[in-house]
Amino acid sequence: MRKIVAIVFLAIIGFYIISIFSAFQFGDKYKGVSEHYVKEGIIENRGANLVTSIVVNYRGFDTLGEVTVLFLAATGLSFLLFSCKCEREFKRIKSSLVLRTATDTLFPMILLFGAYIFIHGHLTPGGGFQGGSVIASGVMLLFLSFRSFHPNHKTLSTIEVLAGISFAGIGLLGLVYAKSFLANSVLPLGQWNRLISAGVIPLIYIAVGLKVGAELSGLISDMISTTKED
């Protein structure tokens, strides 16, 4: 009975999705705001990566909101898990020698790669969200291989707070020196396709990268370290 009701429900939803999206021509020429982004974005922002200039500049306020949602979810998770009197009887097994040796070699390289991704966010594919998640997956490797590993939560939250404040501060500077929040005319735009170019976009993406990396590492740490050790 439950399955029949679910299938009828799914058929209705599927019908409406098909009838909405059959009005779109897939692969059609886009109009409106995306056309402006593609045609003028590289001239207005001097960043080679158009996705970065949309995420950080045109929709920068939206990105600030998303980072806030991430922060709230991480806070709620640690509140739920640490106020819990869950039994902590699960053991973390000692990992193998191969994993530990590989982690020793690979972890600095993963950190360096993550930093490379978010510093070059305006030139190549990548940016703050990608670099931050690469750094968090490096921290995840540390958790998997050393069973008594604990990151310093004070340091993580300090990085998080400083990165968030600098993001909002750069936005407020735009309000002071130009006419809108997060406007890209505080710093000179520079030359196209150089590392130091595109105004404040690299600075904001570095702040986003550090914030996302610290937040996701804290989230993984909260999930794992509420299990009892040895």
- Residue 94 CB, shortest distance to another protein, in Å, is 16
Size of the site for another protein (CB under 8 A): 74
- Residue 96 CB, shortest distance to another protein, in Å, is 17
Give CA 31 to chain center in angstroms.
Answer: 28
Q: Report the chain's C-alpha Rg in angstroms.
A: 22
How many Å apart are CA 101 and CA 149, to the nearest integer? 15
Residue 55 per-residue DSSP state: I
Does 7 help bind another protein (rule: CB under 8 A)? yes
Give CA 108 to chain center in angstroms.
Answer: 20
- Residue 176 CB, shortest distance to another protein, in Å, is 26
**Binding to another protein, residues 60-119 (CB under 8 A):** 62-63, 66, 69-70, 73-74, 76-77, 80-81, 84-87, 90, 117
Residue 181's CB: how many other CB atoms inside 10 A?
Answer: 15
Residue type (1 letter), 4: I
How many Å apart are CA 66 and CA 202, to the nearest integer? 18
- Residue 72 CB, shortest distance to another protein, in Å, is 8
Choose among 65, 113, 111, 105: nearest CA to 214: 111
Return the number of the residue (87 or 176) whose C-beta is nearest another protein: 87
- Residue 89 CB, shortest distance to another protein, in Å, is 10
How many Å apart are CA 34 and CA 181, to the nearest integer? 21
Angle at CA of residue 15, ends 13 and 17, nearest 5°: 70
Question: Does residue 147 contact residue 95 with C-beta atoms inside 8 Å?
Answer: yes
Return the number of the residue (70 or 162) whose C-beta is nearest another protein: 70
**Binding to another protein, residues 121-160 (CB under 8 A):** 123-127, 129-130, 133-134, 136-137, 140, 144
Return the number of the residue (54 or 206) whose C-beta is nearest another protein: 54
**Binding to another protein, residues 19-58 (CB under 8 A):** 21, 24, 26-27, 29-30, 33-35, 37-39, 41-43, 48-52, 54-55
Return the number of the residue (25 or 176) whose C-beta is nearest another protein: 25
**Binding to another protein, residues 171-200 (CB under 8 A):** 192-193
- The region of 101-109, 179-187, 196-204, 221-229 touching another protein under the rule CB under 8 A is 221-229
Residue type (1 letter), 160: E
